[in-house]
Amino acid sequence: MPVSEFSLIYRYFSALGRGAAVDLSVGDDCAILHLDAGERLATSVDTMVEGVHFPADSFPEDIGFRAVSVAASDLAAMGARPLGMTLALTLPAADELWLQTFSQGLAEAVSEYRLPLVGGDTTRGPLTITVQVLGALPSGEALLRGGATVGDVVYVSGYLGDAAGGLAVLTGQWQPTPDHAEYLLHRFNRPRARLALGRELLGKASAAIDISDGLLADAGHIAAASGVKLVIEPELLPLSPALASHASAGQVRRWALAGGDDYELCFCLPATAQAPPGCTRIGEVVAGEGVDCGPGLDIAPGYQHF
Binding stretches for ligand ADP (CB under 6 A): 9-10, 13, 26-29, 87, 89, 117, 119-122
Nearer to Mg ion, 32 or 150 (CB): 32
Q: How far is the CB of 129 from Mg ion (least distance, A)?
A: 16
Q: How far is the CB of 73 from ligand ADP (least distance, A)?
A: 20
Nearer to ligand ADP, 109 or 197 (CB): 109
**Candidate residues 23, 96, 121, 179; the one interacting with Mg ion per rule CB under 5 A:** 121
60 binds, among Mg ion, ligand ADP, none (CB under 5 to 8 A by kind): none
Count of residues binding Mg ion (CB under 5 A)? 1
Q: How far is the CB of 87 from ligand ADP (least distance, A)?
A: 4
Nearer to Mg ion, 132 or 226 (CB): 132
Candidates 27-35, 121-129, 146-154, 230-238 — which segment interacts with Mg ion by CB under 5 A? 121-129
Nearer to ligand ADP, 121 or 289 (CB): 121
Give residue number: closest CB to Mg ion: 121
176/174 Cα distance (integer angstroms): 6
Q: Are 59 and 185 in contact (CB under 8 A)?
A: no
143 binds, among ligand ADP, Mg ion, none (CB under 5 to 8 A by kind): none
Q: How far is the CB of 235 from ligand ADP (least distance, A)?
A: 46
Nearer to ligand ADP, 13 or 255 (CB): 13
In degrees and rounded to multiples of 5, residue 22 shows phi and psi of -90, 115
Q: How far is the CB of 115 from ligand ADP (least distance, A)?
A: 13
Q: How far is the CB of 293 from ligand ADP (least distance, A)?
A: 41
Q: Which residues sit at the interface with Mg ion, rule CB under 5 A?
A: 121
